[in-house]
Chains A and B, each alone.
Chain A
Amino acid sequence: MPPGLGETPAAPAPADPAPGRSRIDPLAAFYLGLPFVALLAVPLYDRRDPTLFGFPFFYWYQLAWVPLTSGLIYLAARRRA
């Protein structure tokens, strides 16, 4: 170990770095979890049909989930208010 590193005094760990924020809102968690299910369950969308504007399903489905994810995060954020 290089000199100095061993005797480095640790900064005090915060007793509670985020007081009152450890509650998890189930509905917000649902909104945030949905994109994972939709995009990681690949067999769900690894298909050609139906096509949209010439895009096979595989492509337009994943592109559609970009604005959907943004909207879901917005809904989760609104739950804070």
Chain B
Amino acid sequence: MTLATAVFLACLLGVSGLGFAAARWRRPASLDHLEEWGLGGRNFGAWITWFLIGGDFYTAYTVIAVPALVYATGAFGFFALPYATILYPIAYAVMPALWRQAAEFGAVTAADLARIRHGHAGLELAVAITGILATMPYIALQLVGMQAAIRALGIAGDWPLIAAFLILAIYTYSAGLRAPALIAIVKDVMIWLAVALALSLVPLRLGGYAHVFAAAAAGLKPGGLLLKPGQMLPYATLALGSALAAFFYPHTLTAVLAARSDETIRRNAIALPFYSAILGLIALLGYVAHAAALHPANANLVVPLLFTRYFSGGIAGFALAAIAIGALVPAAVMSIGAANLYTRNIHARLRPGLTPAAQARIARRASLVVKLGALMAIILLPTRYAIDLQLLGGVAILQTLPALVLGLLPHATPSGRVLLAGWAVGLATGIGLAWATALSPVIPIAGTGLYIGLVALAANAIVVASGRVALA
């Protein structure tokens, strides 16, 4: 076994121990309640929420795929940064009110909120199914990030992935949201160190940023460092649409609802952009790879290759472990968010009268099923499917926005029936456009283009607005 592999395994084992210990951390009287297992007792303060959302939203796939996109396409891949910036004014404006509503009525999921506010079982089911289906490919993509780290170590086969995921499944089962919350602290610090290491290459080995940009300009197609006029609108609409959807995914919403108070969320809207600054620097690793003259067979390997090429075995093993652990935190929270949706909004609606303990038991099992599904998908199906489904997932999550945001307004809101119609029309529009563009996120229009999710949301909003007028 190489030193890199040994360090990698040691880091993963240490974190797994932490995951199992998490069941005892801030221990409640009993974990046999969904608010305890699935929301950590709704009691995470500002610091833990910061680490948890930071660990949950800035995923391993981000660390792998954003630099890969920047490496391959140049400026366009950078849309992740304005996306992760305007996200926070949105979060500040919406999430504290959503938290208050959830805390007041004991809501655990977005679909709970849809039921509470609009009193419509069909809308609740639509929100629940949207969340579950959008989350599954997202979990699968975390595995892609982990796979890239494992491949860079030179380990062949799927067994490390399977082993890591089995351990993850067991400690999530036992500790619930407390496990990823505790691991997120370690994961975030490890990622910062790894990014700092990679960035230290720029002045020490690669001649500074001016040289990095020059090398990228030479490596990309002419003009790749800037957007072409036709790319500007796709860039802006992708950033806006992604930012609108980001906090309505089950994993981000679960982390928000697990906060102790609305003030905790406000403070986090101020402090979380710190991670976005790091994301910007991570994105630039795509250009650093040009300066390092890396020519990976698969763009997803650019970041792992930077580590294995320039650093000693021990340090490379640590950095690759940071990426792998970076996959475990979001995968855990995603599976918990999806399990909460299944339990509260599908299972419990079919079998009314479930005790809280029964709900917690069902959610634990559901989290196992969700993770197993994602694991099988990544082992058995081409990665392309997960990426395409993840695109459709984002489009679908956007269609749940009207129901959740309009439900926060104090005055009369559209009826559940109208909101459900808007969701259906938006989803059909989004899927239709995705089919028309052969699963590209951007539909070309008049020499430029628009993010299809935003077009679908507009269709949704038109239905909701006109339905409201028609029924008034």
Contact = CB atoms under 8 A, between A and B. Distances in A.
Interface string B413-446: 0000000000000000000000000000000000
Interface in B227-282: 227, 232-233, 235-236, 239-240, 266-267, 269-271, 273-274, 276-277, 280
B115 A42 contact: no
Contact of B92 (A2, A12, A32): A32
A6 to B, nearest CB: 7
Interface string A57-68: 011001101110
B78 interface: yes
B120 A63 contact: no
A63 to B, nearest CB: 5
Given A4-B352, A70-B274, A73-B270, A18 B410 contact: yes
B226 A46 contact: yes
B210 A22 contact: no
B93 interface: yes
Given A3-B350, A32-B89, A48-B225, A53 B410 contact: no
A19 B104 CA distance: 13
A33 interface: yes
Contacts of B225: 48, 56, 58
Contact of A10 (B82, B121, B236, B240): B121
Contacts of B449: none
Nearest to A44: B232
B89 A69 contact: yes
Interface in B101-136: 101, 104-105, 115-122, 124-125
Nearest to A80: B266
B408 interface: yes
Contacts of B75: 46, 58
A14 B280 contact: no
A11 B112 CA distance: 10
Contact of A13 (B92, B116, B269, B350): B116
Interface in B292-343: none
B274 A5 contact: no
Contacts of B409: 22
B86 A18 contact: no
Given A10-B119, A17-B407, 20 more contacts: A4-B351, A5-B125, A17-B97, A18-B100, A36-B89, A40-B236, A42-B227, A48-B225, A53-B209, A55-B209, A55-B213, A56-B213, A58-B225, A63-B277, A66-B273, A70-B270, A70-B273, A73-B89, A74-B270, A77-B270
13 contacts: A4-B350, A8-B349, A17-B117, A19-B410, A40-B240, A41-B236, A42-B235, A42-B236, A47-B226, A48-B225, A62-B78, A70-B88, A76-B89
Interface of A: 1-6, 8, 10-14, 16-19, 21-22, 32-33, 35-36, 39-43, 46-48, 51, 53-56, 58-59, 62-63, 65-67, 69-70, 72-74, 76-77
